[in-house]
Amino acid sequence: MNVLPVGDDALLVEVSSGEEAEALHADLLRRRAEGTLVAREIVPAARTVLLDGLADPARPASELAAADVPPAAPRAGRVVEIPVRYDGPDLADVAAHWGVAEDEVGRVHAGTEFHVAFCGFAPGFGYLTGLPARYDVPRRDTPRTAVPAGSVALAGPYTGVYPRSSPGGWQLIGSTDAVLWDHTRVPAALLSPGTRVRFVPRGPRCGHQGGP
């Protein structure tokens, strides 16, 4: 574990894999709940966990540098099901990257159990992992200026769902009506780090809504 100081009251803890980052995140949350770690923010990411707002960064820094990350407990808790139509504009490109037929993309994607490795980019945007490495895809060469809310997308090893319309460079394979973020709801975010997720295929959108 590599512990990097960030300013005067934060630490960036770097580990060697996404799985280790998730295990470390779970362990740090446990320590905070126990009261042995006081941190305003604990932010997991791809290979790191940021601890921000530390009263005394020197202590966790030395503790973490000496510690091993305990292996993550098996994922428990309910599985969030996200209905999806596999109708994205990049479906053909993704199928070509994967070397499969177009309709196979949805079958592989919906047959995978995902979980949220970390969040970021926008409130409610989760970086979901679960697809084997052979299904990694590059970002689009030219990002779109507006990706519609509810777009189900792939980039690198991750799947994500855009909570609201925003610019984005991920490959769009489908769409969902699921509400990823609603600040009037508790919790506001449908997905938070660790949440298990399954995508459930739906038929194409009915063309008769809203008039002729």
Partner 1 sequence: MTDRALAVVRAGALTTVQDRGRPGHAHLGVPRSGALDAPAAALVLRLVGCPPDAAVLETTLTGCALRPRCAVAVAVGGAPCPVTVDGRPVPWGAPVGVPAGALLNVGAADSGVRSYVAVSGGILVEPVLGSRSTDLLSGLGPPPLADGVVLPLGRPRGRHARVDVAPQPAPPSELVLRVTPGPRADWFTPEAVRTFTSRAYRVSSASNRIGLRVDGPALQRARSGELPSEGMVLGAVQVPPDGRPVVFLADHPTTGGYPVIGVVRTADLPAAAQAAPGTPVRFVAVRRR
Site for partner 1, rule CB under 8 A: 4-8, 10, 12, 40-50, 52-53, 118-125, 127, 164, 183, 188-189, 192-193
Q: For the chain, first and last CA: distance in Å?
A: 60
Residue 2 beta carbon to partner 1: minimum distance, rounded to whole angstroms: 9
Nearer to partner 1 by Cβ, of 50 and 108: the residue is: 50
- List, as one string, the DSSP characters of 33-86: HHTS---SEEEE-SSEEEEES-S-THHHHHHHHHPPPPPPPPP-SPEEEEEEB-
Both tokens assigned to 162: 């855009």
Residue 102 CA to residue 106 CA, distance in Å, equals 8
Nearer to partner 1 by Cβ, of 89 and 123: the residue is: 123
Nearer to partner 1 by Cβ, of 41 and 104: the residue is: 41
List 164's β-bridge partners, or say none: none
Residue 41 beta carbon to partner 1: minimum distance, rounded to whole angstroms: 4
Nearer to partner 1 by Cβ, of 44 and 174: the residue is: 44
Residue 65 CA to residue 192 CA, distance in Å, equals 27
